[in-house]
Homo-oligomer: A and B are copies of this chain.
Amino acid sequence: MSALELKPIARIRNGYEDKFGIPRQPGLAAVRSVIVFEPEYRVREALRGIEGFSHLWLIWVFDRSQREDWSPTVRPPRLGGNARVGVFASRSPFRPNPIGLSCVRLEGLREGEGGLELVVTGADLMDGTPILDIKPYLPYADSHPEATGGFTDETPRQTLKVEIPADWRQGLTDEEAQALTDILSQDPRPAYQRDPERVYGFGFGGMQIRFSVAEGIARVTEIRRA
C-alpha cells in the first residue's frame, strides 16, 4: 500500500470561524457543534444504537493547517511556544498525515437539513472541518485515567476569569455567553504573546469578538455582529 485515499463522510457546523479562539484540546469548552453527513452518507441505519454512547471519537482532517512539508519537531503552545518536542509526542496539526482526533460528548440526534444529524459538545474543530470517521468511545478500551501525560503533566493549564461587561452581555443569548466564557477562560491568546495592553480578536458564531487580558482576567472589549 503506497497511498490511501479517504473521503469526508461529514462536516462539522459550529461557530468556530477562526483558528484563534478554538480550544487547544477537545472537551475544554461546552460549545455545541452539529455533525452534518455528506449526502452519500445520509443513511439513518448507520447511526443505529449510537444514542447509547455518551462520547464519540471524531477522526478528521486539519484541512486549514496543511503545509507542503512536515517538520520533525513542533513548539506546543502548552510549553509557551518556545520548547520543541517531537511531532509524534504532540497533537500539533502540522504532522506527516494531517489527521485530528477528538473525543466529544454526544448530546443527541436531531432532524436537520442534512437528515439525521449528531449534536455534540466539546469539539475543537473549525466550522466546516471534514470528518473522516466517527467511532463510539469505549471506556474499557479508551479510558486510562492513570496515563501519564508527558510534558502536559508538568505545565497545568491556566484558566482565566472572564468578564463580559453588561453592555456587551445584553446582546448575547445565554448559550452564546456561556460559549464565549468557556472559550475565553481557556486563554486563546497565542502562547508567545502576553501583552496586557494588547487587544486580541477572533470570530465566533457570526460575531467578531475583541478582548484583552490582564492579571488573569480576560475582558471583552467589543462584540460586533457580522
Chain A positions near chain B (C-beta within 8 angstroms): 1-9, 25-28, 41, 43-50, 52-55, 57, 59, 61, 63, 72-73, 84-91, 95-97, 99, 101, 103, 130, 132-153, 157
> What residues of B have a CB within 8 angstroms of the CB of A73 in the complex?
45-46, 48
Quick one: given A50-B86, A53-B89, are A45 and B72 in contact (CB under 8 Å)?
yes
In the assembled complex, the Cα of A134 lies from the Cα of B90 at a distance in Å of: 9
Q: How many copies does the complex hold?
A: 2
Other-chain residue from B63, B88, B91, B148 in contact with A1 (beta carbon distance below 8 A): B63
Beta-carbon contact of A148 and B52 below 8 Å: yes
> What residues of B have a CB within 8 angstroms of the CB of A48 in the complex?
72-73, 84-86, 89
Beta-carbon contact of B152 and A147 below 8 Å: no
Beta-carbon contact of B139 and A144 below 8 Å: yes
> What residues of B have a CB within 8 angstroms of the CB of A138 in the complex?
25, 91, 149, 152
Beta-carbon contact of B134 and A88 below 8 Å: yes
Classify the secondary structure of A's interface with B: mixed
Quick one: given A6-B3, A135-B88, A144-B139, are A150 and B72 in contact (CB under 8 Å)?
no
Beta-carbon contact of A147 and B151 below 8 Å: no
Other-chain residue from B52, B54, B99 in contact with A133 (beta carbon distance below 8 A): B99
A150 nearest CB across to chain B (Å): 3
Beta-carbon contact of B150 and A52 below 8 Å: yes
Other-chain residue from B7, B46, B53, B141 in contact with A97 (beta carbon distance below 8 A): B7
In the assembled complex, the Cα of A156 lies from the Cα of B6 at a distance in Å of: 34
22 contacts between A and B (CB under 8 A): A4-B6, A4-B130, A25-B141, A45-B72, A46-B87, A47-B86, A47-B89, A48-B73, A48-B85, A53-B149, A54-B146, A54-B147, A54-B148, A97-B132, A97-B133, A103-B144, A136-B149, A137-B147, A138-B149, A140-B149, A140-B152, A142-B142
Quick one: given A88-B134, A137-B147, are A57 and B1 in contact (CB under 8 Å)?
no
Beta-carbon contact of A59 and B150 below 8 Å: no
In the assembled complex, the Cα of A109 lies from the Cα of B16 at a distance in Å of: 39
Sample of 12 further A-B pairs with CB below 8 A, known A45-B86, A55-B144: A3-B7, A9-B96, A25-B141, A43-B72, A48-B73, A52-B148, A95-B133, A97-B133, A137-B144, A139-B144, A140-B149, A140-B157
